[in-house]
Amino acid sequence: MELFRSLSIAESGMDVYQQWLDAIADNIANINTVSPTDEAAFQERFVVAQSQIGEGRPEGAKVVRAEFGNPLGRIVHSPSHPLADEDGFVRLPDMDLTDQMSNLLMAQRSYQANVAAFERARSAYETALEIGS
Amino acid sequence: MFISDVTNQSLAQALRGLDAQRLLHEQNIANIETPGYLAQKADFAGSLRQALESGRIEDADIEVTNSVLPTRLDGNNVRLDDEITGLTKTQLHQDLVTTALNARYRLLRTSWDR
């Protein structure tokens, strides 16, 4: 059995939410990225997490793959844009800033929750080490 | 002899291994932005167990390996949360081994105080 297991579990959670935060930051950075209509729009990035079990014991979570949103995006009429086609249309990503901001809050809070779990576990182990001293 | 019996020698070897681990975690953090740097870690437990099984504790050594995690674009694969978790675990582990050594020495002191 691995020593101090809950520290690794909390760390795996931190890693998952770190990657989700990265994905959200990427989405927000590209929220206004314009593409011509003959190319795909920027695709919203999602991360897919999965719980990990090793030898019947929990081993936290892991990001197993990324998923991507709608490549068609939104067609917007913007005739003065340099990337516009002959009818004056461009493609914008099919994303909503409100969604991204609420995801950002969730990811941030969940990351903090994992750090809290890490700190609690550490302090519990430190208490255990005081037994008999 | 009690002072250098196999238990105390194993505990001392564990302390050496843990010190090597701590050093490598610190080195990895220092190189977190060095292009092409691969995270390293030290393992003493496997070798210590083999040495204990064969009865030759002096054969125990510390293995240093490069991390096989995927690298970033700059060829570096140090992950800060890994290193911080490792440092915390190493510190707790050092406390544990030190507690065990202290208990052994306390026992010894009890005997010569009589």
Partner-chain residue, chosen from A4, A11, A14, that has the shortest CB–CB distance to B92: A4
The average pLDDT across A92-112 equals: 96
Window 9-68 of B, Cβ < 8 Å to A: none
Indicate if the pLDDT at residue B1 is higher than 70: no
The average pLDDT across A88-98 equals: 94
pLDDT at A133 (0 to 100): 67
What average pLDDT does the structure give for chain A? 93
On whether the CB atoms of residues B77 and B33 are closer than 8 A, the answer is no
Asked if the Cβ–Cβ distance from B79 to A15 is below 8 Å, we say: yes
With cut-offs at 50, 70 and 90, classify the pLDDT of residue B56: confident
Looking at beta carbons, which residues of chain A come within 8 Å of B93?
3-4
Can you give the pTM of this predicted structure? 0.81
With cut-offs at 50, 70 and 90, classify the pLDDT of residue B107: confident
Q: Residues of chain A whose C-beta is under 8 A from some C-beta in B?
A: 3-4, 7-8, 10-11, 14-15, 18, 118, 122, 125-126, 129, 132-133
What count of CB pairs under 8 Å joins A to B? Answer: 34
| B82-94 pLDDT per residue, tens | 999 999 999 999 9
CA dihedral for A128, A129, B2, B4, sign (positive or negative): positive
Which residue of chain A comes nearest to B79, CA vs CA? A15
The average pLDDT across B17-24 equals: 96
For residue B60, give the nearest of B44, B82, B78 by alpha carbon. Answer: B44
pLDDT at A57 (0 to 100): 86
| A32-66 pLDDT per residue, tens | 999 999 999 999 999 999 999 888 888 899 999 99
The average pLDDT across B35-52 equals: 94
d(CA A60, CA A13): 6
Tell me if chain A has a CB within 8 Å of the CB of B88.
yes
The average pLDDT across B31-44 equals: 95
d(CA B53, CA B66): 27
Looking at beta carbons, which residues of chain B come within 8 Å of A121?
none
pLDDT at B53 (0 to 100): 92
How many CB atoms sit inside 10 A of residue A40's CB? 13
Indicate if the pLDDT at residue A73 is higher than 60: yes
Looking at beta carbons, which residues of chain A come within 8 Å of B103?
132
On whether the CB atoms of residues A100 and A31 are closer than 8 A, the answer is yes
What average pLDDT does the structure give for chain B? 91
Which residue of chain B comes nearest to A5, CA vs CA? B89
